[in-house]
Amino acid sequence: MTADTVFRIASMTKAVTGVAAMQMVEQGKLDLDAPAQTVLPFLAETQVLEGFDHAGEPRTRPPRTSITLRKLLTHTADSFTIRGTGT
């Protein structure tokens, strides 16, 4: 193996992202429990999907608590949609 050896890491995006985020937490650059919108401002527009009305239109509400890095990494940030971004 050399310094320029290429490795295939299929389906590892979540693992690599999680490790990188935790390294930044260790370095004091990120806080697991701070609102994630301080790093990702578009999360301020987050709405939680509650269901659909009789016409099939989505019914949304603001989240009850802030979305944090901890919630994103543990997949406990609820189901959400971001208004105005098509997401």
Residues taking part in catalysis? 11
CA 62 to chain centre: 16
Match 């239109």 to its residue by tokens.
57
CA gap 58, 60 in Å, rounded = 6
Nearest to 69 by CA among 13, 30, 14, 28: 30
